[in-house]
Structure 1
Amino acid sequence: MNIIFRVDASTNIGSGHVRRCLILASYLRNRGANVSFICREVIGNLCCLLEDAQFIVHRLPFDHSSAGNAPHDMRVGDDAISSAAIIDKHGPFDWLVIDHYGLDQRWEQAISQSVRNIFVIDDLASHSHSCNALLNHAYLTGLHKRYNSLVAQNTHLLLGPKYFILNPAFHIAKSNAIPLASRNQRILIFFGGADGTDETTKAIHSLQQIASFNIDVDVVITRQNTHGDCIRTLVQNTKRYTLHEDLPDLSRLMARATIVLGAGGGTIYESLFMGLPSIVVTTAEHQTAAARQLHQSKLILWLGSTQSIATPAIRDTIKSWVSKASDKLPLEPGKLMNVVDGQGLARIEKVLENS
Structure 2
Amino acid sequence: MVTLTICFRADASAAIGTGHVMRCLTLAGELARRGAQCLFAAAPGTEELVPALPYPVVPPERLPFGAALAVVDHYGIGAAEEARIRGMSRAVMVIDDLPTRRHHCDLLLDQTHGRRAGEYRDLVPHGGIVLAGADYALLRPQFAEARPASLARRDGSLRRILVSLGGTDPDNVTLRVLDAIAASGLEVAVDVVMGAKAPHLETVLARAAAMAGARVLVGTGDMAGLMAGADLAIGAGGTTTWERCCLGLPTLMLVIADNQKDVVRLVSGAGAALEATPATIAGQLRHLAARPPILLSLSKAAAGLCDGLGAARTADALRRLPSLKGLSP
TM-score by length of 2: 0.90
Residue 194 of structure 2 is aligned to residue 194 of structure 1:
no
| Paired letter, 1:347 | R
- C-alpha displacement at 1:223, in angstroms? 2.6
Q: Deviations over 1:40-96 (max 9, x none)?
A: 10477446421xx2x111135xxxxxxxxxxxxxxxxxxxxx24xx412xxx31100
- In structure 1, the residue matched to 2:8 is 5
- In structure 1, the residue matched to 2:287 is 320
**3-state SS of the aligned residue for 1:140?**
coil
| Paired letter, 2:143 | F
- In structure 2, the residue matched to 1:38 is 41
- Provide the rounded CA distance (Å) in 2 between the counterparts of 1:127 and 1:249: 35
- Provide the rounded CA distance (Å) in 1 between the counterparts of 2:158 and 2:100: 42
- C-alpha displacement at 1:266, in angstroms? 1.8
- In structure 2, the residue matched to 1:334 is 300
Identify if the C-alpha distance between structure 1 residues 277 and 151 changes in structure 2 by more than 3 Å, giving closer, same or farther.
Answer: same
Q: Contact (CA 8 Å) 2:271, 2:298: kept in 1 or not?
A: no
Identical residues among aligned pairs (%): 28
Q: Contact (CA 8 Å) 1:301, 1:328: kept in 2 or not?
A: no
Q: Contact (CA 8 Å) 2:107, 2:129: kept in 1 or not?
A: yes
Q: Contact (CA 8 Å) 2:94, 2:108: kept in 1 or not?
A: yes
- Provide the rounded CA distance (Å) in 2 between the counterparts of 1:103 and 1:118: 13
Q: Contact (CA 8 Å) 1:10, 1:44: kept in 2 or not?
A: no
Q: Contact (CA 8 Å) 2:8, 2:41: kept in 1 or not?
A: yes
Q: Deviations over 1:133-163 (max 9, x none)?
A: 000000135x434312221121100000000
- C-alpha displacement at 1:249, in angstroms? 4.6
- In structure 2, the residue matched to 1:17 is 20
| Paired letter, 1:134 | L
**Equivalent runs, 1:1-355 vs 2, <5 Å:** 1-42=4-45, 45-46=48-49, 48-50=51-53, 53=54, 55-60=55-60, 82-83=61-62, 86-88=63-65, 92-141=66-115, 143-177=116-150, 179-181=153-155, 185-211=159-185, 213-303=186-276, 309-311=277-279, 313-324=280-291, 328-355=294-321
Unaligned stretches of 5+ residues in structure 2: 322-329
Q: Deviations over 1:108-143 (max 9, x none)?
A: 1122221000001111322211000000000135x4
Identify if the C-alpha distance between structure 1 residues 310 and 216 changes in structure 2 by more than 3 Å, giving closer, same or farther.
Answer: closer
Aligned length: 317
- C-alpha displacement at 1:175, in angstroms? 3.5
**3-state SS of the aligned residue for 2:297?**
coil
Q: Contact (CA 8 Å) 1:44, 1:224: kept in 2 or not?
A: no
- Provide the rounded CA distance (Å) in 2 between the counterparts of 1:277 and 1:5: 32
- Provide the rounded CA distance (Å) in 2 between the counterparts of 1:227 and 1:133: 38
| Paired letter, 1:272 | C
Q: Contact (CA 8 Å) 1:265, 1:287: kept in 2 or not?
A: yes
Q: Deviations over 1:203-250 (max 9, x none)?
A: 100011134x21111011113421111001111221100111112351
Identify if the C-alpha distance between structure 1 residues 47 and 281 changes in structure 2 by more than 3 Å, giving closer, same or farther.
Answer: closer
- C-alpha displacement at 1:320, in angstroms? 0.9
TM-score by length of 1: 0.84
Unaligned stretches of 5+ residues in structure 1: 61-81, 304-308
Select the structure with the greater relative contact order (CA < 8 A; seq sep ≥ 6). 2
Q: Contact (CA 8 Å) 1:207, 1:315: kept in 2 or not?
A: yes
Q: Deviations over 1:140-196 (max 9, x none)?
A: 35x434312221121100000000001111122224445111866110000112212
Q: Deviations over 1:282-331 (max 9, x none)?
A: 1112211232122222111112xxxxx343x111101111122x975442
**3-state SS of the aligned residue for 1:3?**
strand
- In structure 2, the residue matched to 1:63 is none
- Provide the rounded CA distance (Å) in 2 between the counterparts of 1:173 and 1:314: 28
| Paired letter, 1:87 | P
